Structures are given as C-alpha cells and as structure tokens.
Structure 1
C-alpha cells in the first residue's frame, strides 16, 4: 500500500490508508487508545484497541486503518486502526515532552537538547517559515536576471576590518572565517552584473542578547549599473514583498500554528535620514544613544513609525561615513549612500551603493586606518571598468524572528552558535 501523509488524510474519508511517522503523543483509556502520529506534513489522531503495548513517544511507527470524520479529533479527522507496527522504538523518554514544548519555557534546556526538541511543532515551524522566505528570495532574484554565486568562507582579511573575526590556522598561516561575502560579490558584479548568495557568515562578537548570533545565514545581493542607492532600495522592497508572498502561499499551516500576523508593507517603504532618526530618538522619544542607533533606539523607532506611517518597515538612509564600512559610497559631505532596513524595530538589512573608483577605495581605507595592501586583490578589479553598483544583506534569522515574534533569534536557527554554545 502506498504511504499517505497526514496532510492528505482529510481527502480520504472511508478509505484505508497507511501512515508512517513518529508517535507524538499517547493516551490509554482502557478499552481504547489514542495516539497522535506526526510526519513531515503534520499530525493526525489514530484510534487503536485497548490492550496494545505502545512504544515510547518518538518511536518510528507505521499504522494502517480507515479514515473517518470526527469533529472532536485534532483537525476533524482520525484513522481507526487495529494494530501498530514499530519500525524503530525510542529507547528512552525524551528529555523534554515534545507535545508540551514551548519556546518560552526553559530555553537553555530546549537548546541543549535541540536534536530532539526540534521535533516539536512550534520548534520546527520557524525553520519551515524561514525555508519559505529563502525560497522566495531565490525565486524572485532568479526572475530578475540574478545569478547565484558561491564565495570562499576562509579569507585572508575581513570584509569590514575590525577585530570581530574568528581566526583559524591555515597551514601555519592566519586565516579567518568570512564576516561577509561583500568583497567577492562586488567582484562578481564585474562577471554577471547581478548576483546573490545564500550562505553562513561569522562574527566574533561577545554578545549575549536575544538578537545576536555568532554564525547566521546571510542573504546577500549585489547589482551593477545603478544610479544610486534608491535603485537598491527599490529592488529590496519588491524582494521582501515576494519573500512574504511565497511564505504566505507555502507555509500557511506553520503561520497559522504560530498565529503570525503578516506585516504591513506599503508600496514604498518610508526613507528616513539618519540625522532625523537620531533627532526623533532624542527629542521625541527621550532616549539616549551612542554614535550609532542602538537596540533600544531601533525598537523605539520601529514602534514610532508603525504608529505614524502604518508600516512595519522603514529605511534609515544617509548614514555618516564614521559608522559605515569603507566600501560605502561617500557623498562628499561626511554622509554616505548607505542604509539600514528596520523591520518591527530590528535591523534586518544593511546596504547601499558601493564605491566603484579604486582611488576612492584606497582613500576610504586609509581614512579608517586600514592597510590597502591587505585588500590589494579586491582593489585590482576596480581598475577594469567596474560599474556603479550596490547591494545589501538580509539576516535570515532576524527576519524570521521578527516575522514570527520569536522571543530569541536562536530559535530561528536549527543549531545556533552563540558565545557559549558549540553543541549540539
């Protein structure tokens, strides 16, 4: 008999089906037993005779039975079976009761036993939603003539300089885990004009917050022959819209399970100059801040613009040179064509127009106290007709976190890496 997925059960009332999956939950009422069987597509209730010896939860099982409609059953349907075949028993009770798994309870325990707690419906749903976001990212960019690229993750120098690099021994020499594919994706603009990459990046920052990871999935985009950063932001607006549409279409059950409120995304996301954002934070919201917008300032701005403009997204534009990477296009007045995209009060994107003149790149490196010799291969490409170009990077976990309303970004990665966690 061909296997039936639990999601297909409602269309097979009165038919005999075969289900395979995990024993998610069990209950013995004496003369009758109920189990919930979970597979990749969902969960369905199975009714079995009393007296059967049932294995421990999370055992891999197979059942055959008839589908009947039952309004009291989860989802309104159940399978009435006479027996259960154990394909592989669970050898011990799970460290966390999977059906009772909840992100907000015992977070360290949930992460320590992530190899099994990920099986919970509310644990795996964010990753399914993130998969849909990434699929939407790829589909839209493919439709716009972009080429997916794959860049090195062992590098000689960081794309942004600084000390937040993980150093590794590379055959007796120092190398680093890539902070970003930034320099390579700019080089590849000279090859394909429009490129993107989906890959992990690493930041050796000793954060211990609900929004930082030391390894995360970066969705990178770079495009050539632009007029300004406005072209880049216009692309990102449509890209974000496509990602959300793909998620709504293909991850509906997960969105419903987590009671996700889809964001308000206007046709044009508001552009707010950095200086104006700082003024709002200080004068209208009464908050202090340092040289750049801090976490508290971003959250407050998110709430402010949601109320003022009715949007969950806002671009902060015209950043000063002092708080942007060396490759950001300077406008000659101490500002740049660099921007951030805030989503519900969290920065999910950093982007803008890049410098395409090699002499200006050298000037900006020296201005920031960085050695141009360490970037000589990167600088060389700009001597061969690099067009005006720009791009951005979306943090997949942060986007997922704010879309769903997760209390911690670590739940948006299957096996998160932070300053204290290298396992599982």
Structure 2
C-alpha cells in the first residue's frame, strides 16, 4: 500500500474514459468493484463516483509483477491505475484500459459487511449499519446526486429571485410552535432545545427589513412516529417574504418545484435511469383542493373524517388515491394551525394556510402570517401558551412588522418524490430516528 505522490494524480473520471481517449494513457482512481480471473486474462472493474471502467490484463502482454499485483487485489480495495485506453465493444463506455502500473492505496478487509454489487440484497437496517459501503452502490449514490442537484437548484432559484440566505439558531430557549415535540439539552446552567423550525426567526427577519429570505438547514422534532416518512432530524427548505400573501408564496413554491424537476431531468438523466424513474414535468399551476372539498372526498372513500380534524394517515391515503402528482390543500381550519397563521378575514374559522402534497405525502406547509402584535399575543394565548415566553419574538412585532407569508419544504420528502422512494431513511445520508443514533 502506498501514498499519493506527485506523479500519481487522476487525469480522468471513469465516465470520461471513452473512445475519444483511445490510445492515450490515462490515470483513474477508485474502488475494485469486481474481479474475474480467467487464467490467461484478468478483468477488473474499477468504480469511482462517476461510473465504472474495465481494466483488462492479458497475462502474456503485461509484466508478471503487475499480474501478481492484480491477483492480490480484493473487492472494494482502493487503487490507482495508469494504462492505455483501447476500444472494446463489450466493456463499459466501449473501451478498456490495458494497465501499465497499479498503486494499491488501501487493501479492503474481507468479508465485506454487505455486497456493494447488489447481487446479494440487504435489508435497510443492515445497509444503514454499514452506510459507508451502501453509499458506494450506484443505485444509492444516485439518490444523493439527485438531492445535490435539487439543493443547488433551490439556491440558484432563490438567489436569482432576490432572496437573501440566512442562518438562524438551532439552539433555542423555547418551543417554536409550542407542544412537546422538543429535544431538551443542557445549555450551561440553563435548559435549551434543538430548534423545531426557523419560523420565528424568519419572521423576525421581515421586521429587520430583509424583505425576502431563505434557509436550508436541519430541523429537529421529537416525534414518536415510527413510519416510513418521519425522521427526528431532517433538512428543511424555508422561505419568508414581506408584502406577499399566501397565494403569491404558493406560486413561488409551485415554480421552484417545477424548476427543480426540469433541472434534475436534464442533469441527472443517468441517475434517474439507474433508479428506473421516468420523472414527469408538471406544467402550469398545481391543482388546488380546499380543505372542505378534501373532507368530502375522503368521506366518499368510506374513511370517516370530521370537519376540523387534521388528516389521518388513512385520510391522506384516500385523498392521494384520488389525486395525481402535486397539489395544494388550502383553507385549513384556523383551530388546527399554529398561532402565527393568519385567519381568513371574512371567515375566521378558516385560515390562509396551505400544504403542498404529492399524492398522499405532505411535503410542504405554509401560510400568510399574523403580523399584528396584539392579535399575535391573543393567538398565542388561545393555544394555551404564555405570550411572555415569546418576548423576544413578539418584540419584533411592536416596531414595524410588514405583512408577510412563507413556507417550509421538507428536502428529504421532496427527494422521495424525485427518486420514487417510499422510505425517507433512504434519502438521508445518516438518518436519525427513535432507534438510530449511529453511525
């Protein structure tokens, strides 16, 4: 085994080694994916982040020392390969590399904790226990290449539309929205909590005159749900904008989702192909379903639901069976929404709140916010919370708070809709749930 030296630097990723490099010497670096020793010829598949390339070593054409080195290789060992590119119709990319020199950087132990070739399937817990190997699989790395493109597109979308990126605290003194879904921590001599949401700070940025802001960051919820769609640590894409109502920020969300899908289809075609996903590009404005209509639709499927209730899992499934793709749920009852959600002026039992759904999966919630100080104090008290505990937040509403609206979009759930996955744990590098705190 050896270290990198000045004469060992990658010249190409594997996917860049194609017919245009025929008869050239290249240097690739990666992992030994598979080895086939047929006696007179040895084939080794080398894998890197971008794909695979075939090393072909005819034992009569390469040195005996090099043949011996190749035969000592083990699957998932890390090597550097220098060699000449030749055409080969049966090899990946239509070419193969005849080796001149091989450097062994790290010899992998055997047996492996799981099979990265996917010939032997592993259960999700086994995969997560050895996530560093699971992530080497093309079908898994594709998920995170798509997620990377999604997050990049989100940032570009906000920047070109005049939003400022902010970073709000994740150590907070009190609940964002009340309730018990909090992780308490010891903060010197005080009790503090991990932030459930950047909501209150986003709103304070409106008072500060930032006008339009966004944040992409972790949120923490001590939910006891043990489902395929809940995690205790997740990534949230949040925005807030002054002088916009709920309808306007719904359009922002609509446009963002469509732009992400367009970019993923264009730039991640290989990853989508690996996952077997034919991603459809929704056009125009997503369909709008009012809460009233949703209750009727759900009851029509013999799933009982009273007006004023939140959607149960059964209700979500019933509604999702009747809807195709993305759609907005609007005009939610004020009573079941957080204190900062603006009631409808004409019909206060309804609110200016909305959710973005994908079939039966909620991926975003948003609303026009209460910006009047006295009304906000009143709403906090109505939720059984002490307004004095929100003193720093409420102070921002005393000295000039503009009307504003915003939303939060679950990045991990959004990635589920892009990749066709049903288990949110697969969209997170190292998921955190009730039973998993490592690796």
- Larger Rg over CA atoms: 2
SS in 1 for 2:225: coil
Q: CA contact under 8 A between 1:18 and 1:63: conserved in structure 2?
A: yes
Deviations 1:77-120 (A, max 9, x none): 32222443212211333200111178x74111001111222111
Q: CA contact under 8 A between 2:261 and 2:418: conserved in structure 1?
A: no
**Aligned counterpart for 1:107 among listed residues 81, 102, 124:** 124
Q: CA contact under 8 A between 2:43 and 2:54: conserved in structure 1?
A: yes
Off by >6 Å, runs of 4+ in structure 1: none
Q: CA contact under 8 A between 1:165 and 1:177: conserved in structure 2?
A: yes
Mapping for residues 298-313 of structure 1, pairs under 5 Å: 298-306=316-324, 312-313=325-326
Q: For residue 93 of structure 1, what is the aligned residue in structure 2?
A: 111
Flag structure 1 segments of 5+ consecutive residues without an equivalent. 307-311
SS in 1 for 2:178: coil
Deviation at 1:170, TM superposition (A): 0.8
Deviation at 1:168, TM superposition (A): 0.3
Q: Say if 1:80 and 1:295 are closer, same or farther in 2 by CA, change over 3 A.
A: farther
Aligned residues: 416
Q: For residue 27 of structure 2, what is the aligned residue in structure 1?
A: 18
CA distance in 1 between counterparts of 2:364 and 2:93 reads: 38
**Aligned counterpart for 2:296 among listed residues 230, 254, 279:** 279
TM-score norm. by structure 1 comes to: 0.94
CA distance in 2 between counterparts of 1:301 and 1:44 reads: 47
- Aligned: 1:322 with 2:330: no
CA distance in 2 between counterparts of 1:398 and 1:101 reads: 28
Q: For residue 64 of structure 1, what is the aligned residue in structure 2?
A: 82
- Aligned: 1:224 with 2:237: no
- Aligned: 1:372 with 2:387: yes
Q: CA contact under 8 A between 1:101 and 1:117: conserved in structure 2?
A: no
Q: For residue 9 of structure 1, what is the aligned residue in structure 2?
A: 17
CA distance in 1 between counterparts of 2:367 and 2:394 reads: 19
Q: CA contact under 8 A between 2:232 and 2:432: conserved in structure 1?
A: yes
CA distance in 2 between counterparts of 1:81 and 1:314 reads: 55
SS in 2 for 1:272: strand
Q: For residue 349 of structure 1, what is the aligned residue in structure 2?
A: 364
Q: CA contact under 8 A between 2:261 and 2:281: conserved in structure 1?
A: no
Q: CA contact under 8 A between 2:258 and 2:281: conserved in structure 1?
A: no
Deviations 1:1-40 (A, max 9, x none): 7521112112312322111111122221121111111112
Q: For residue 27 of structure 1, what is the aligned residue in structure 2?
A: 36
Larger deviation, residues 315-324 vs 46-55: 46-55
Q: Say if 1:37 and 1:279 are closer, same or farther in 2 by CA, change over 3 A.
A: same
Please report the RMSD computed on the Cα atoms of aligned residues, expressed in angstroms. 1.7
SS in 1 for 2:323: helix
Q: Say if 1:101 and 1:187 are closer, same or farther in 2 by CA, change over 3 A.
A: farther
SS in 2 for 1:98: coil
Mapping for residues 25-424 of structure 1, pairs under 5 Å: 25-50=34-59, 51-52=67-68, 53-100=71-118, 105-191=122-208, 192-226=210-244, 228-283=245-300, 285-289=301-305, 291-306=309-324, 312-331=325-344, 332-424=347-439
TM-score norm. by structure 2 comes to: 0.91
